[in-house]
Amino acid sequence: MARTVAHVIVDALKDLGVQHVFGVVGDALNPLTDAIRTTEGLSWIGCRHEEAAAFAAGAQSQLSGTLGVCMGTVGPGSVHLLNGLYDAAKSRTPVLAICGQVPLSEIGSDYFQEVDNDLLFRDVAVYRATVTSPDQMPRMLESAVRAAVSQGGVAVLTVPGDLGDLEPGEDRPARFALDRAVTRPDDPALAEAAELLNAASRVTLLVGRGARDARTEVLRAAELLSAPMVLTLKAKEGFEDDNAFQVGQTGLIGNPAAGHALDHGDALLMLGTDFPYRDWYPKDCKVVQIDTREEHLGRRVPVDVGLAGDVGATLRALLPLLKTVPDRAHLDDARERFAHWQEGQSRLADTGHDHRWTGRLRAALDNRDHDIRPEALASAVDAYADDDAVFTSDTGMATVWLSRFVTMRGTRRLIGSYNLGSMANAMPQALGAQLWAPGRQVVAFCGDGGLSMLLGDLMTIKTYRLPVKLVVFDNRRLGMVKLEQEQAGLPEFGTELDNPDFAAVATALGITGIRVTDPAELHDSVRRAFQTPGPVLLDVLTNPEEVAVPGKPTVAQGWGYAIAKVKEVLPGREG
């Protein structure tokens, strides 16, 4: 008996190693979800919102390096996928979205719920097409998957509801050729890069996620060049642990040591990074950049030598050409500054900080209610979480505290919406991560604004009995927006959140809820959350006035903050 279009798709997903398909059921998807129901080894994960489904699929793709899959039914169901798919696209991770559509004969008639998916997903997808005949399968599916995997992006395949049960004209399984080529620049380009680096006396490395598979080569380059290594947030995983060269992050979430290492080098070697913030790059400095994507070369900062190729393969060819730099002053200076900064941060993370005389003075200004400092919460999570834990973080202050206080030691993994910068990503990404690694601890750093935006999918976590640990930084604020307003000299406005007791909400849903309001109870509560079987929501009331000082604070930012604080305490409104 010939297979249907739906079974061709589902069988192909199973053959590709896909284990979970995320979505919300709907009539246009019925042939596909029924095919999943009868296919062993492939599970349907019914979410409460399609945006969560897309985030979960993207999380699995980022963690596995393979295809993630989500589905949305006709019209609004597909529209809801869009934000999570944008996150996958910006993260350069392969995701296949299968979308329902109105019956083929009704396309173009402004039918009930009809949306032009090919137009809707034009900006987000590297491939988008609507199946208009069963005879287009499995060729169209093969094209979609190849595009997603080869380009590291989103493919959207739209299937009208009346086509799923039809039989394709060619009864064969889908076949995929997905091997990626590993390339490196030619020898003259490598020689030019080596000449530039060998002429420099103070080289700094800026390392991104694109270098993750080349840890050995990157460390060897730092050793030869006596170079401090500045990490992007996405490079914490793979380069932060057991690394005598790294000096943390730069940018708004960064530290002074990283900024100093960048500003005081006479050469910068960029490895697998498209770090977007131009203001944080050094000025009057020679730059060598290695990236697999040629269009990234020189996109953020003028580049003297651009090398298009795999970071590992390129470094293996470049390293023999580099001379050893015996003077370690640049490296040692950066490492000493980094250690000094870390020492100061550790004092803030001490739950007894506000009881010491310096802490009491600071608390009188910024923590009169004696809330828990977010630094202490992040540090406690770092202490008690497993060495193979998977971390997710919401965009905003939750990511700041994770970047500064959680170390990616052991085989820890880290994902977040670090390119798109969406709210509400941490919880649904943790959902996908836990299904991908059911035997590992998954910890979500949730902002209270982010968690409440997709709060309904707490029920998905409960339904599938996923032992995710949700850590809520409950400062009753959109904290990053508050800080941005105040640094610009504006009083806080529109950022306050009238939150429920999130632990009580979790308890009502059948999830263990723990609420923490006393700093003295923090460590015991975090320990208990991690030791409790099943899903746990840890709701910690953190200080809403906490300020994360950037790596290079400016006079304008400090003055703006002071003006904002004056405006916030003055009565009435400005005229």
Per-residue confidence of the chain (575 residues) as pLDDT tens digits? Answer: 468 999 999 999 999 999 999 999 999 999 999 999 999 999 999 999 999 999 999 999 999 999 999 999 999 999 999 999 999 999 999 999 999 999 999 999 999 999 999 999 999 999 999 999 999 999 999 999 999 999 999 999 999 999 999 999 888 888 988 777 789 999 999 999 999 999 999 999 999 999 999 999 999 999 999 999 999 999 999 999 999 999 999 988 899 999 999 999 999 999 999 999 999 999 989 999 999 999 999 999 999 999 999 999 999 999 999 999 999 999 999 999 999 999 999 988 888 777 776 666 677 777 777 899 999 999 999 999 999 999 999 999 999 999 999 999 999 999 999 999 999 999 999 999 999 999 999 999 999 999 999 999 999 999 999 999 999 999 999 999 988 888 888 999 999 999 999 999 999 999 999 999 999 999 999 999 999 999 999 999 999 998 877 666 664 655 554 566 566 656 554 43
The pLDDT of residue 169? 83
- Domain segments of the chain: what residues? 5-160, 187-339, 349-569
For residue 554, what are the contacts with CB-CB under 8 A and spacing of at least 6? none
Q: Which amino acid is at 149?
A: V
Which residues, 6+ apart, have CB-to-CB distance to 63 below 8 Å?
390, 413, 415, 432, 433, 436, 437
Task: Please report the pLDDT score of residue 573 as a whole number.
Answer: 47
Q: Is 451 exposed, middle or buried (0-12, 13-18, 19+ CB in 10 A)?
A: buried
pLDDT of residue 102: 97
pTM, rounded to two decimals: 0.94
Length of the chain in terms of residues written: 575
Superfamily (CATH) of domain 5-160: Thiamin diphosphate (ThDP)-binding fold, Pyr/PP domains (3.40.50.970)
pLDDT (0 to 100) of residue 574 = 45
Of 483, 485, 389, nearest to 445 by C-alpha is: 389
Architecture of domain 349-569: 3-Layer(aba) Sandwich (3.40)
Q: Output the pLDDT for position 207.
A: 98
Tokens found for residue 356: 């010491």
Please give the pLDDT value at position 142. Answer: 97
CATH fold match for the domains 5-160 and 349-569: yes
pLDDT of 325: 96
Residue 306's nearest CA partner among 281, 286, 289, 287 is 289
The single-letter code of the amino acid at 486 is E
What are the CA-CA distances from residue 267 to residues 190, 202, 222, 224 (Å)? 16, 6, 13, 14
The angle subtended at Cα 222 by Cα 220 and Cα 227, nearest 5°, is: 165
- Cβ(36)–Cβ(44) under 8 Å? yes
| 494 contacts: CB under 8 Å, gap ≥ 6 | 478, 481
Identify which of 413, 349, 411 has the alpha carbon closest to the alpha carbon of residue 381. Answer: 349
Please provide residue 571's backbone torsions phi and psi, each rounded to the nearest 5 degrees: -75, 160
CATH topology for 187-339?
Answer: Rossmann fold (3.40.50)
**Best CA proximity match to 506, nearest among 479, 478, 532:** 532
Please report the pLDDT score of residue 559 as a whole number: 53
Closest CA to 51 of 91, 85, 27, 90: 85
